Chain A
Amino acid sequence: MEEWQKKHILGIKDFSRQEIETVLSLADSFKEISEREVKKVPALRGKTIVNLFFEYSTRTRTSFELAAKRLSADVVNFSFSTSSLTKGETIVDTIKNLEAYHPDIMIMRIGVGACLKSFSQYTQASLINAGDGNNEHPTQALLDMFTVKEIKGTLENLNVLIVGDIAHSRVARSNIFGFQKFSSNITVCGPTSLIPYEFEKIGVKVSNDFDKEIESADIIMMLRIQKERQGATFFPTLREYVDRFSLTPQRLKKAKKDSLVMHPGPVNWDVEISSSLKEKVHPLILKQAENGLAIRMAALYLVGTKKREI
């Protein structure tokens, strides 16, 4: 295995195909640890890992926390409300103050995008992006790819269909950058008003026709829709959104028999996916979450054991 080069994990944009494969193969080994009696290995013993969350999230934060603890690291959690971004102590000051703890890794989630690279200059720690605005959520995409690989055996030449609020989805972006590196065909499908400007330039097919695209999809990735979006004039009503872009039993019938339905969670049943499909699709969605832990352990392991430059 080649030496892991990245100090930070900020986005799949910066990952090579090789690097993605490294994380996925490591995650396999880490999955086994969760099945042991003693669910702990000493790989990151004594490392200090800080969860610095400026956006509310229990799931991702807990996932990272548990991943860190299973690697024997010490974890500290800092949660700030979104409003504190502009009031009170600045993020830069917060990061600088945290340096007193000599953190080895900082896991950050923040409601605005593309700012983590700027913040990395204020700390010696490795930064892992747990979601920055609409930009990227690298560990989510990695766990999605890991899940697909587990079941399909490959990431090559798959037809990936991503459905929903593409414009505001960091999950969509990270997955697009990831699957692209494996020559998969990616289609994004959603209301035109929620497809970003000139998005085809990123290398995806753009569509508004869920019924048509679902027929050829190997992977159907449903995205969360924030109910508040309808207030911002992107689409008139939730009803109309659901009518065109919800995964209903009728639509699913058109899909390939072995297609996978995925969702980053938590699911808004009867908005993104009909609740009548719950029994059928929920198991894989839960598996995604389980894989998330292994992926995050792999991510922490790789940056946490990286040779420190003096």
Chain B
Amino acid sequence: MSNKKEIKKILSKDDIKRTLYRLAHQIVEKSSSSEEIALVGIQTRGVYLARRIQSIIKEIEGKDVPLGVLDITLYRDDLTVLGPKPIVKETKLAFDLSDKVVILVDDVLYTGRTVRAALNEIMDFGRPKRVEFLVLVDRGFRELPIRADYVGKNIPTSRQEVVEVNLEESDCNDEVVVIKNMD
């Protein structure tokens, strides 16, 4: 059995930077001055992306947007089926959710189950005015009626492929690749 993999680079470091700037502008454009937004990154890479967007918004608008981090492990629908359990990381929402537009941030949108879990968890913290969803990559194959409000890039994939988002904060460098197992 060969372990051959075909790796296709979809976004480079510069691509990611440009995309994030574009997304940040989109957020700013969409939100009216009367609405307060908050960014909530989904552990782990969603948090890094949310932080970057937070600083870009500060850069382009001079605006301080509150940032929360959310670990959705305990809200997953597949806990008893999972073998090795993911480490439960920090959850911290140090601001009042009510009357805010909460923008959930994640790296990849696939089945939609992560967002479903994130929504349930957010609701246990309060009642936001509105919840929107920002994702760097949408790869299709939704299993729930979930959609993203802000999409970095749409990448059509096949089920055998894996979309990997690497970010400097935790991986070697910034890039998005699609990996296919050649078996």
Contacts and interface: CB of A to CB of B under 8 A. Distances in A.
Direct contact of A and B (CB under 8 A): yes
Interface of A: 1-4, 25-26, 29-30, 32-33, 36-38, 40-43, 71, 301-302, 305-308
B89 interface: yes
Nearest to A301: B74
A26 B125 CA distance: 20
Interface in B48-80: 71, 73-75, 79-80
Interface in B82-96: 82-92
State the main secondary structure of chain B at its contact with A.
Answer: loop
A37 B126 contact: yes
A308 B87 contact: no
A37 B81 contact: no
A29 B79 CA distance: 16
Nearest to B121: A41
B120 interface: yes
State the main secondary structure of chain A at its contact with B.
Answer: loop
18 contacts: A1-B84, A3-B83, A3-B84, A3-B85, A25-B87, A29-B89, A32-B91, A33-B74, A36-B125, A37-B125, A41-B75, A41-B124, A42-B74, A42-B75, A43-B75, A301-B74, A307-B81, A307-B83
Contacts of A302: 85
Given A29-B90, A32-B92, A36-B125, A307 B80 contact: yes
5 closest Cβ pairs, A-B complex? A29-B88, A38-B124, A41-B74, A305-B79, A43-B74
B90 A43 contact: no
Interface residues of B, number: 23
Contact of B91 (A29, A38, A71): A29
Interface of B: 71, 73-75, 79-92, 120-121, 124-126
A42 B77 CA distance: 9
Given A29-B90, A32-B90, A305 B80 contact: yes
B97 to A, nearest CB: 9
Contacts, number: 53
A35 to B, nearest CB: 10
A17 to B, nearest CB: 17
Nearest to B81: A307
Contact of B84 (A2, A36, A41): A2
A100 B131 CA distance: 43
Given A36-B125, A308-B80, A1 B90 contact: no
Q: Which of A4, A25, A29, A302: most chain B CB closer than 10 A?
A: A29
A69 to B, nearest CB: 14
Nearest to B97: A37
B79 A36 contact: no
A302 B86 CA distance: 11
Given A36-B125, A40-B124, A305 B86 contact: no
B135 to A, nearest CB: 23
A71 to B, nearest CB: 8
A19 to B, nearest CB: 12
Contacts of A2: 84
Given A3-B84, A41-B75, A43-B73, 20 more contacts: A1-B84, A1-B86, A2-B84, A3-B83, A25-B87, A26-B88, A29-B90, A29-B91, A36-B125, A37-B126, A38-B124, A41-B121, A41-B124, A42-B74, A42-B120, A43-B75, A301-B74, A302-B85, A306-B80, A307-B81
